[in-house]
Structure 1
Amino acid sequence: MAARTGTTPRRAVGAAGVTFREHLLAAVDGHRGSDAADRLCAACVMLFDIDAAAISLVFDGAATGTLGSSGSDARSFDELQFTLGEGPCLESVAQCSPVIVTDLADPAEQRWPVYGRAMLDLRIRGVYAMPVVVAGEYVGALDLFRALPGQLSGEQLAGAISAAELAGIPVLDLLDADMNAAVNDPDSSAWSEMNALTRAEVSQATGMLVAQLGIDPAEALLRLRAHAYAVGRPATDVARDILERRLRLP
């Protein structure tokens, strides 16, 4: 994992998260879509004394894509949630509330037995997830990762919640073709259009496995994820190998 690039002293960002929000707004000003999402995540790293940040998209109870990240490490941490089917973004969306784990190494912390161990292997001990809400729908989470254990300060937590609110804007950019319908109607086809923009390779590879192995889609996806975990690779990379016929699962 790359070394922390720097933090902003607390006195420089003010109190109660107000100035944090101003910094976050300045970071994304004039940017749209995934570019704005990446810049928002990078700003979180600078402001909140963390090592990585990512914005996860969640559709139908599964982590389906990474909208933005502070770098390759953050993207890998988010991808791992999809591969393993557990992690802070999924729990945050399922509970419709922030999820804060101050130390994954705590013996009493058992909520993600596989993901937690994998993150410890990657030298991450603190994880914090804030739900992203668009038009009343919980569509993902802002995930913050830190190598050192510990609580976020009250100011940092308020700032992270503001960042998650701002993350809804690049999500709406993905829905540009049907934005009005998405805002006014949660059942709009725009939600499925957003899903189509996420891990499409995995969906295509799952379909190929269904045809090759004569199994149902749920089992095909499970086998793809299991293989990815076993070989230590992102599920999307394994999916590309299947699609390009470089890999055939037994």
Structure 2
Amino acid sequence: MTSANGEDDYRATVRRLIDRQPQHLDLLQRVCRAVTENLSAFGTGVCVMTADGTLGVSAASDEAIGRTEELQFVLGEGPCIDAFAARRPVLAANLADAANYRWPVYAPAAHDNGVRAVFAFPLQVGAARLGVMDIFRDRVGPLTDTELRMAFTFADVTVEVLLDTQEKNLTSNSTGLLDVGHRAELFQAQGMVMMQLGVSIAEALLRMRAYAYAENRRLEDVARDVVNRTLRLDGPKNEDPELPKGTA
């Protein structure tokens, strides 16, 4: 099992890799570029999706990958859609195999665009789903254990990026600071969510932030509803998913 310090080191490394990307790019584009460069990928796409699976916003490492990414929503099938619905990674180490039974329309189209393998990772916290990160390769073969671990870390950091961006947008017309009363209410809400879900205090805050993102609400408003007992965040724990063995 990875130690807390080891996990923090991975996250810090991933954030540095993202920060090294050209600053004129959109933040999600920088994520896609960093994933592509450091996981020997053909390209990377990030899809931000609504609760019903509708594409909201997407970003890609380049325009060609962007078209391959959005093609899934045009055709109504693909690894991104499956990973979002199942809340689990979809690892297709050989896209040609998937064409026979899983994505009979999308797989040949992606293959024509140079894609030979694709790995889709849900962007989620507990019951709150934000979207999916797709990693495309131009050769057949699974991710190594190290690459898989790095991919999960990139997905986790992408979730944090989305939550941070949402909170900044919602507080852009205010000071962005919580007064003493709101901080106390937030801490109380964290404790209540921690007890509801049986998670750590840090995980409780992450669950609240994810819920606020999914509902397009301010964190302080979510905290107030939790404290007033008009909102509960019961849902599946944010445990590390069992790693599939390279299945399509």
How far has the Cα of 1:47 moved from its partner? 1.0
**Can you give the 5+ residue segments of structure 1 that lack an aligned partner in the other structure?**
1-15, 195-250
**Can you give the 5+ residue segments of structure 2 that lack an aligned partner in the other structure?**
1-5, 172-185, 187-204, 218-248
Asked if 1:138 is matched to 2:96, the reply is: no
Deviation per CA, 1:146-180: give whole Å up to 9, x if none.
Answer: 11110000000100000000111232213534488
CA distance in structure 1 between the aligned counterparts of 2:91 and 2:98, rounded to whole angstroms: 16
- Among 165, 170, 178, the residue aligned to 2:156: 165
- Among 31, 35, 60, the residue aligned to 1:44: 35
How far has the Cα of 1:56 moved from its partner? 0.8
Q: Calculate the aligned-residue CA RMSD, in Å.
A: 3.4
**Quick one: structure 1 residues 84 and 157, their matched pair in 2 at CA, closer, same or farther if it must change by over 3 Å?**
same
Contact kept, 8 Å, 1:131 with 1:142, in 2: the verdict is yes
Letter in 2 for 1:24: V
Residue in structure 1 matched with residue 113 of structure 2 by the alignment? 122
Contact kept, 8 Å, 2:96 with 2:111, in 1: the verdict is yes
Asked if 1:191 is matched to 2:214, the reply is: yes
**Quick one: structure 1 residues 185 and 153, their matched pair in 2 at CA, closer, same or farther if it must change by over 3 Å?**
closer
CA distance in structure 1 between the aligned counterparts of 2:141 and 2:214, rounded to whole angstroms: 36
**Quick one: structure 1 residues 177 and 123, their matched pair in 2 at CA, closer, same or farther if it must change by over 3 Å?**
closer
**Quick one: structure 1 residues 109 and 176, their matched pair in 2 at CA, closer, same or farther if it must change by over 3 Å?**
farther
How far has the Cα of 1:46 moved from its partner? 1.0
Contact kept, 8 Å, 2:78 with 2:106, in 1: the verdict is yes
Asked if 1:25 is matched to 2:25, the reply is: no
How far has the Cα of 1:108 moved from its partner? 7.3
Contact kept, 8 Å, 1:54 with 1:143, in 2: the verdict is yes
Asked if 1:86 is matched to 2:77, the reply is: yes
SS at match of 2:96: coil
Contact kept, 8 Å, 1:63 with 1:85, in 2: the verdict is no
Residue in structure 1 matched with residue 94 of structure 2 by the alignment? 103
Contact kept, 8 Å, 1:18 with 1:159, in 2: the verdict is no
Deviation per CA, 1:218-247: give whole Å up to 9, x if none.
Answer: xxxxxxxxxxxxxxxxxxxxxxxxxxxxxx
Aligned residues: 178
SS at match of 1:105: helix
Asked if 1:60 is matched to 2:83, the reply is: no
Q: TM-score, length-normalised on structure 1?
A: 0.60
Contact kept, 8 Å, 1:175 with 1:193, in 2: the verdict is no
CA distance in structure 1 between the aligned counterparts of 2:9 and 2:210, rounded to whole angstroms: 32
Residue in structure 2 matched with residue 70 of structure 1 by the alignment? 61
Letter in 1 for 2:65: A
Contact kept, 8 Å, 1:135 with 1:182, in 2: the verdict is no
CA distance in structure 2 between the aligned counterparts of 1:184 and 1:81, rounded to whole angstroms: 30
CA distance in structure 2 between the aligned counterparts of 1:126 and 1:113, rounded to whole angstroms: 15
How far has the Cα of 1:71 moved from its partner? 1.2
Identity of matched residues, %: 27
**Quick one: structure 1 residues 107 and 59, their matched pair in 2 at CA, closer, same or farther if it must change by over 3 Å?**
closer
Comparing 58-67 with 137-146, greater Cα deviation is found at 58-67
